[in-house]
Structure 1
Amino acid sequence: MTETRRSGAETRERILAVAREHFARQGYDRTTIRAIASEAQIDPSMVMRYFGSKEELFTAAASIDLALPDLTTVAAGEAGRVMTAHFVRTWDSEGTLMALLRRAASDPQAAEQMRGIFATQVAAAITPLCPDPAQARRRAALAATQLLGIALGRYVLHLPPIVEMDAEEIVEWVGPTIQRYLTAESA
């Protein structure tokens, strides 16, 4: 195997980029260290040197910044639609997030990683909108159930009615529910 000369940081980033592609395309179980190494043009032992195990590589590859929009700049009553649209675009373009969702259904460590992403990033994004900021985590969890449910139905289970909907239609149906979770007074 011909190895390309790169710095340690460049090698690590190249491994992560290739791993993200493989995990997104093939899922965790069908992705191999050997295939990642081959595409990254390195010896498989280098992948292990940088990441220790396939599990640790997956965890690093699935460290995702959702890049949520600043919902405080959105017109009143539109945050739910904006957040829903953002997630549909993210699910469509971020295959690693989908790989994490699939794995989280059966692996406790991946489930914890998914919980962490939603608990920290989504809760932080919605806290300024909440009538009671102490409820931000609860409201983020409720929003996550809807957004993850759409992703599961559309991209994992391939439920025909959800798959057939375009992004705008999903936003129109789900956005108002997310809005309620974000801004409605407590029940």
Structure 2
Amino acid sequence: MAFTERSARTRAAILAAAQRRFAADGYDRATIRAIAADAGIDPSMVIRYFGSKAALYTAASTIDLAVPALDPDPQDAAAAYVRAMIARWEGGGNAAEAVLLRAAPTHPDAAARVQEIFDREIVPAVQTARPDDPHARERAALLLSQSLGVVYCRYLLGIEPLASMDVETLATMVAGAVAGHLTGPLPS
């Protein structure tokens, strides 16, 4: 096996262990030693590959939401957005998102990353779908708040009955709320 292949595997193992550990313990309680133990390596290797706990956290929580292009019709836009968001979480491929969202309430850098994602992905999607709406940014914030509420309650906290709600029912109800956020009157 080539050195670069081994390095890539080691780096991937560290990232996977860090995502699990940050998601389970949060940023402050997760330690380099615990992450290294989970990855089956010496703690010095974590520092060698990532430089610091903060840099490792940044790498472990890097995400691209891949927000779908939103249809100009608010009902269709809401349904497509909500279904994509739920599918992402139902599919289980959300370790980086879980890391970021668990840390955001107590870690300013994580909260700033959520803001960056909002500005880079959510706002442009809403502005494209509603180009003449002077409240597109506010509508995007409401859309995000609805999304985060579902994610925290269903996927991160397991709040019942939301955690066990039928996916189709969840998607229909949340899409209705999101459509309201996209079209409801906002003060001037």
TM-score band w.r.t. shorter chain: 0.7 to 0.9
Using the size of structure 1 for normalisation, the TM-score is 0.81
Alignment of 1:111-122 (within 5 A): 111-122=111-122
Residue number in structure 2 paired with 1:91: 89
Alignment of 1:90-109 (within 5 A): 90-92=88-90, 93=92, 94-109=94-109
Residue number in structure 1 paired with 2:160: 160
Residue number in structure 2 paired with 1:45: 44
Residue number in structure 1 paired with 2:149: 149
Q: 1:82 aligns with which of 76, 80, 83?
A: 80
Displacement, 1:128? Answer: 1.4
Q: 5+ residue gaps in structure 2?
A: none
Residue number in structure 1 paired with 2:53: 54
Q: Tell me how many residue pairs correspond in the alignment.
A: 183
Alignment of 1:27-42 (within 5 A): 27-42=26-41
Q: Distance in 2 between matches of 1:131 and 1:166?
A: 34
User: Considering only aligned residues, what root-mean-square deviation do their CA atoms show, in Å?
Assistant: 2.7
Displacement, 1:161? Answer: 1.8
Cα pair 2:22 2:30 within 8 Å, conserved: yes
CA pair 106-26 structure 1, distance change in 2 beyond 3 A: closer
Using the size of structure 2 for normalisation, the TM-score is 0.80
Displacement, 1:7? Answer: 5.6
After superposition, the C-alpha distances for 1:27-83 in whole angstroms (9 at most, x for unaligned) are: 4345332233344444311211332322221122101011222334x8773110111
SS in 2 for 1:170: helix
CA pair 120-135 structure 1, distance change in 2 beyond 3 A: farther
Displacement, 1:174? Answer: 1.0
Alignment of 1:4-15 (within 5 A): 5-6=3-4, 10=8, 11-15=10-14
Larger CA deviation: 174-183 vs 96-105: 174-183
Q: Distance in 2 between matches of 1:102 and 1:81?
A: 26
Residue number in structure 2 paired with 1:126: 126
| Matched residue type, 1:18 | A
SS in 2 for 1:71: coil
Displacement, 1:26? Answer: 4.5
Return structure 1 stretches of 4+ with deviation > 6 angstroms: none
Q: Distance in 2 between matches of 1:121 and 1:98?
A: 18
Cα pair 2:23 2:102 within 8 Å, conserved: no
CA pair 174-5 structure 1, distance change in 2 beyond 3 A: same
Identity, % of aligned positions: 40
Q: Distance in 1 between matches of 2:95 and 2:15?
A: 13
Q: 5+ residue gaps in structure 1?
A: none
Larger CA deviation: 50-59 vs 33-42: 33-42
